[in-house]
């Protein structure tokens, strides 16, 4: 495990092969209900290089207007499917947050050219809740910065089955994905990488 004093943790290969396969199957079922979509970025309208969908009462979306949470899928207009119990179990086991997450954002990196530029997750109201990040499939070259955009960054490989937790001050670390090591895993039938992030969006009512 790699941990820092500000609340970042990397648990390499936390899930065994069967656990990873179970999550891949769950994502397949979720995507039947809530198809993967290629969002565009606000203002520029430039498309992301990855496809996204969600589970949960809240789903993260992007369009020309803004980045935001939505109660419904932007294409189907239907509520997102529920977060599967196996994912809630991981959240309860690996975070000490007393409430369940409301969003599971699912990113699909299909292969060469799929990346995610350095950003912070800051569209949530519940900034005190951690973010739990699960990797499946091809290894990602992950980039981790600090609390300010100009802080030094480092990059390291994140393998299939690895889990990262961004808690405490590290909840607001800049982060991104430089690229995949395409072909490094055989977990997904068509290759590529799935990334799941569990997030609390609204502040729980006391």
Binding site for ligand SIN (CB under 6 A): 105, 107, 116, 133, 140, 175, 177, 195, 197
Q: Is 124 in the site for Fe ion (CB under 5 A)?
A: no
Quick one: 98 or 106, whose CB is closer to ligand SIN? Answer: 106
Q: Which does 23 bind (CB under 5 to 8 A by kind): Fe ion, ligand SIN, none?
A: none
Residue 130 Cα distances to 122, 156, 199, 202, angstroms: 12, 21, 7, 13
Quick one: 81 or 137, whose CB is closer to ligand SIN? Answer: 137
Candidate residues 51, 121, 124, 138; the one interacting with Fe ion per rule CB under 5 A: 121
d(CA 166, CA 46): 28
d(CA 30, CA 61): 16
> Residue with the closest Cβ to ligand SIN?
195
The DSSP 8-state label assigned to residue 171 in this structure reads G
Q: Which does 131 bind (CB under 5 to 8 A by kind): Fe ion, ligand SIN, none?
A: none
Where in 39-78 is the site for Fe ion (CB under 5 A)?
A: none
Quick one: 30 or 177, whose CB is closer to ligand SIN? Answer: 177
Instruction: State the distance between the two ends of the chain, measured CA to CA, in whole angstroms.
Output: 34
- Quickly list H helices, the chain: 17-33, 85-94
Nearest distance from C-beta of residue 122 to Fe ion, angstroms: 9
Nearest distance from C-beta of residue 205 to ligand SIN, angstroms: 26
Segment (H or E) for 133:
strand 131-137
The upper half-sphere exposure of residue 171, i.e. CA atoms within 13 Å in the direction of its Cβ, equals 19
Quick one: 26 or 105, whose CB is closer to ligand SIN? Answer: 105
Tokens for 142, please give them.
Answer: 């992950």
d(CA 168, CA 6): 6
Using alpha carbons, select from 160, 180, 149 the residue that is nearest to residue 24. Answer: 160
Where in 99-118 is the site for Fe ion (CB under 5 A)?
A: none
Quick one: 15 or 177, whose CB is closer to ligand SIN? Answer: 177
Nearest distance from C-beta of residue 198 to ligand SIN, angstroms: 11
- Residue numbers of the site for Fe ion (CB under 5 A)? 121
């Amino acid at each position: 495990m790699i941990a820092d004093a500000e609340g970042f943790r990397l648990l390499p290969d936390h899930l065994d092969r069967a656990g990873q396969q179970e999550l891949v199957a769950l994502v397949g079922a979720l995507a039947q209900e809530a198809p993967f979509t290629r969002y565009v970025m606000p203002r520029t309208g430039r498309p992301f290089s990855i496809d996204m969908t969600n589970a949960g009462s809240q789903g993260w979306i992007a369009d020309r207007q803004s980045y935001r949470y939505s109660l419904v899928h932007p294409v189907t207009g239907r509520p997102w499917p529920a977060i599967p119990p196996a994912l809630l179990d991981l959240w309860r086991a690996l975070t000490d947050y007393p409430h369940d997450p409301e969003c599971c954002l699912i990113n699909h990196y299909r292969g060469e050219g799929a990346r995610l530029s350095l950003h912070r997750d800051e569209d949530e109201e519940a900034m005190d809740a951690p973010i739990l990040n699960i990797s499946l499939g091809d290894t990602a070259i992950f980039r981790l910065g600090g609390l300010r955009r100009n802080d030094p960054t480092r990059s390291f490989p994140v393998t299939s089955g690895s889990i990262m937790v961004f808690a405490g001050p590290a909840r607001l670390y800049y982060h991104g994905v430089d690229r995949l090591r395409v072909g490094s895993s055989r977990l997904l039938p068509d290759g590529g990488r799935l990334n799941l992030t569990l997030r609390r969006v609204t502040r729980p009512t006391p």
